[in-house]
């Protein structure tokens, strides 16, 4: 035992029980200790402890590193961002403004600058919880970022794309959550390998997992996936069958699409200015296998529901080939039909899956003007149609020009206002300055008596994140108070966020 250990042990039990000093030799330390050995025991122990403690403290010899030090980071070709820009990223991460991080990273990438070392730890920590951010970080990572991440096991796998065969080999031993991440990575680099992985354990996996994994095939969907998806139509689980049918309907020339065409043809009577539909008489096993659900939700009749689902799975090109007219004309033709709800919702569902801009635009216009929902059960067909998804597929300038015009209208029926706002809340592309101005103008002039559903729809509108920040100064300068009371807080928050984004984007220009 070292001197200190002896002294400490003695001190613990007390000098009444353990009065002695450790045995002393003729080292310089021990010679010093002999000078106190004639003191009474308590004083002696304290004095000896003082000597040894001081000797240890002053004489501490730091170890020599036995492992080699890390290699320095390779030379960076990315220039560092300015200190002002670096400060912004730190603020975003520390103050919890994570919604703005993607915009920051994109702007940084445009300037070909790298992230500041000061912000790296917090950014990497955040990326481990939100891996969707990694593709945005990689262009601005630089050699330094890569080097740093490689040293921390928690970050090491963030920015490195593992080998496909390595990933595939992990499949069987990974849990559900890990498998979803694995599939995302695999599907991006080798779609066939992802499909093979799913197929490998498909029979043993629980239904919920089968449905989730199958849904991942939506990314990089191609005709090569058709055979596997067709086999999934035989699955025991209704959910799995529904996912398979949905994916097959997205493939332009799939067998399922052809089968649906075969089903619709006898139900359609068409002429140059006529499009009439009759309802299907039954929902047989083949239809169920192809994903048609026999039981209708409330608000639509049974046979109309079957018709809607068939139409939703028919490739849209069928209709423009049937009658050589534009989608907008076709939509107008249906407007007066008895089956308009079923057909329009079917078309909307199909357009949302991958229809072209003309269909999306025509249907969206129709939706705003006269939505095809039942008054008693408004949500049913709205959910089936998912009209708000159509906005993303329309060219930005056309959509915004039309919406600006809608926003400028003074007297708007409530349901039309609601539909417009619903589209607005989902419209996540960066807005143009003109559009931002129109939205803020409308918000500024909202009436005092604003019905609650509209007010909350306005509050949900993403103007602060998607709006063009250059518009903010003219609104911040405006005098006067907002009339609609719930909206003033929203406006203030929107203008503050826009101002912040303006400063941030300005800093990134340095």
Partner 1 sequence: MSDSLALWTTERIQALAPDDQVKKSAQALAQPAKWQATGRQANVIWGEHQGSASAPYRVVVDLDASTLKCTCPSHKQPCKHALGMFLAAQSSPKAFRAAEPPEWVQQWITNRQAVAARQAKADHDKPVDAKAQAKRAAKREKLVDQGVGALALWMDDLMRQGLAGLAAQPHSFWETQAARLVDAQAPGLARRVREMETLLHSGTRWHDGMLERLSRLHLLLEAYQRIEALPPDLQEQVRTQMGWTQDQATLRAQPGVRDQWAVVGAREEEQDRLRVRRTWLWGLNTHRSAMIVEFAQPNQGFETLLPLGVALEAELVFWPGAVPQRALVKQEERRKPVDQLSGYGSLRAALADWGQALARSPWLDYFLLPLENAIPSRRNDTWVLCDAEKTCVPLSLAENDGWRLMALSAGYPLTLIGEWNGETLTPLSLLTAATPGVGLLALGGPR
Interacting residues with partner 1 (CB under 8 A):
4, 7-8, 11-17, 40-43, 45-47, 49-50, 53-54, 57-60, 62-65, 67, 69-73, 80, 83, 87, 91, 94-95, 117-118, 120-122, 124-125, 144, 147-148, 151-152
Pair 108, 115: CB distance under 8 Å: yes
Distance of CA 39 to the CA centre of its chain: 75
Query: Which of these, 497, 507, 459, 452, lies nearest to 475 by C-alpha position?
Result: 497
Distance CA 160, CA 154 (A): 12
Nearest approach in angstroms of CB 477 to partner 1 is 11
Nearest approach in angstroms of CB 82 to partner 1 is 10
The smaller minimum CB distance to partner 1, of residues 16 and 26, is found at: 16
Instruction: Match 């269909």 to its residue by tokens.
Output: 359
Query: Which of these, 412, 388, 383, 386, lies nearest to 399 by C-alpha position?
Result: 388
Polymer length of the chain: 510
Angle between helices 83-94 and 485-507 (to 10 degrees): 140
- Cite the DSSP H helix spans in 202-267: 207-215, 226-232, 238-250, 255-264
Nearest approach in angstroms of CB 61 to partner 1 is 8
Nearest approach in angstroms of CB 48 to partner 1 is 8
The smaller minimum CB distance to partner 1, of residues 251 and 495, is found at: 495
Query: Long-range contacts of range 292-297, CB-CB < 8 Å, 24 or more positions apart?
Result: 293/242, 297/377, 297/380, 297/384
Nearest approach in angstroms of CB 143 to partner 1 is 9
Nearest approach in angstroms of CB 348 to partner 1 is 44
Query: Which of these, 139, 197, 195, lies nearest to 168 by C-alpha position?
Result: 197
Nearest approach in angstroms of CB 97 to partner 1 is 10
Nearest approach in angstroms of CB 493 to partner 1 is 12
Distance CA 398, CA 362 (A): 12
The smaller minimum CB distance to partner 1, of residues 100 and 423, is found at: 100
DSSP string over 320-354 = HHHS-S-HHHHHHHHTTSTTHHHHHHHHHHHHHHH
The smaller minimum CB distance to partner 1, of residues 64 and 271, is found at: 64
Nearest approach in angstroms of CB 195 to partner 1 is 39
Phi/psi at 274 (nearest 5 deg)?
-140, 140
Which two tokens mark 333?
């033709």
Distance CA 24, CA 176 (A): 65
Nearest approach in angstroms of CB 308 to partner 1 is 52
Pair 145, 78: CB distance under 8 Å: no
Pair 127, 134: CB distance under 8 Å: yes
Nearest approach in angstroms of CB 474 to partner 1 is 15
The smaller minimum CB distance to partner 1, of residues 46 and 184, is found at: 46
Nearest approach in angstroms of CB 113 to partner 1 is 14
Which are the contacts of 11, defined by CB distance < 8 A and separation ≥ 6? 45, 49
The smaller minimum CB distance to partner 1, of residues 309 and 497, is found at: 497
The smaller minimum CB distance to partner 1, of residues 118 and 207, is found at: 118
Query: Which of these, 287, 305, 288, 283, lies nearest to 296 by C-alpha position?
Result: 305
The smaller minimum CB distance to partner 1, of residues 148 and 279, is found at: 148
The smaller minimum CB distance to partner 1, of residues 73 and 401, is found at: 73
Distance CA 45, CA 26 (A): 19
The smaller minimum CB distance to partner 1, of residues 2 and 269, is found at: 2
The smaller minimum CB distance to partner 1, of residues 70 and 298, is found at: 70
Pair 90, 122: CB distance under 8 Å: yes
The smaller minimum CB distance to partner 1, of residues 194 and 495, is found at: 495
Pair 229, 199: CB distance under 8 Å: no
Pair 438, 404: CB distance under 8 Å: yes
């Amino acid at each position: 035992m070292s001197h200190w250990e002896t002294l400490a042990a003695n001190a613990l039990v007390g000098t009444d029980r353990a009065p002695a000093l450790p045995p002393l030799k003729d080292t310089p330390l021990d010679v010093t200790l002999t000078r106190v050995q004639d003191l009474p025991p308590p004083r002696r122990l304290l004095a000896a402890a003082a000597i040894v403690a001081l000797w240890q403290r002053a004489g501490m010899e730091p170890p020599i590193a036995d492992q080699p030090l890390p290699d320095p980071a390779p030379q960076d070709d990315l220039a560092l961002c300015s200190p002002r820009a670096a400060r912004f990223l730190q603020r975003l991460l520390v103050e919890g403004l994570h919604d703005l991080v993607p915009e920051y990273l994109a702007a940084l990438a445009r300037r070909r600058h790298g992230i500041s070392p000061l912000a790296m730890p917090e950014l990497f920590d955040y990326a481990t919880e939100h891996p969707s951010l990694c593709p945005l970080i990689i262009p601005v990572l630089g050699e330094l970022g890569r080097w740093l991440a490689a040293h921390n096991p928690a970050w090491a796998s963030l920015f490195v794309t593992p080998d496909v065969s390595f990933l595939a080999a992990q499949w069987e031993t990974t849990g559900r959550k890990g498998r979803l991440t694995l599939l995302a990575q695999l599907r991006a680099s080798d779609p066939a390998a992802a499909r093979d992985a799913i197929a490998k354990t498909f029979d043993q996996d629980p239904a919920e997992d089968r449905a989730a994994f199958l849904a991942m095939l939506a990314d990089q969907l191609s005709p090569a996936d058709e055979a596997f998806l067709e086999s999934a139509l035989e699955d025991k689980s209704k959910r799995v069958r529904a996912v398979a049918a949905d994916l097959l309907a997205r493939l332009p020339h799939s067998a399922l699409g052809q089968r649906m065409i075969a089903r619709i043809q006898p139900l359609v009577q068409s002429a140059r200015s006529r499009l009439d539909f009759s309802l299907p008489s039954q929902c047989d096993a083949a239809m169920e296998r192809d994903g048609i659900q026999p039981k209708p939700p409330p608000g639509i009749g049974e046979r109309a529901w079957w018709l809607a689902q068939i139409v939703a799975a028919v490739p849209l090109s069928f209709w423009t080939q049937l009658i050589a007219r534009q989608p907008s004309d076709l939509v107008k033709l249906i407007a007066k039909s008895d089956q308009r709800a079923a057909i329009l919702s079917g078309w909307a569902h199909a357009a949302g899956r991958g229809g072209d801009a003309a269909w999306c635009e025509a249907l969206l216009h129709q939706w705003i003007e006269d939505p095809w929902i039942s008054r008693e059960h408004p949500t049913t067909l709205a959910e089936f149609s998912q009209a708000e998804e159509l906005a993303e597929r329309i060219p930005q300038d056309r959509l915004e020009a039309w919406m600006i015009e809608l926003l400028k209208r003074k007297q708007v029926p409530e349901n039309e206002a609601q539909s417009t706002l619903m589209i607005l809340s989902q419209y996540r592309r960066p807005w143009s300055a003109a559009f931002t101005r129109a939205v803020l103008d409308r918000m500024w002039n909202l009436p005092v008596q604003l019905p609650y559903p509209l007010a909350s729809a306005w509050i949900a509108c993403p103007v602060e994140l998607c709006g063009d920040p250059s518009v903010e100064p003219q609104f911040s300068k405006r005098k006067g108070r907002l009339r609609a009371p719930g909206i003033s807080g929203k406006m203030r928050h929107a203008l503050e966020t826009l101002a912040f984004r303006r400063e941030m984007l300005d800093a990134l220009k340095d």
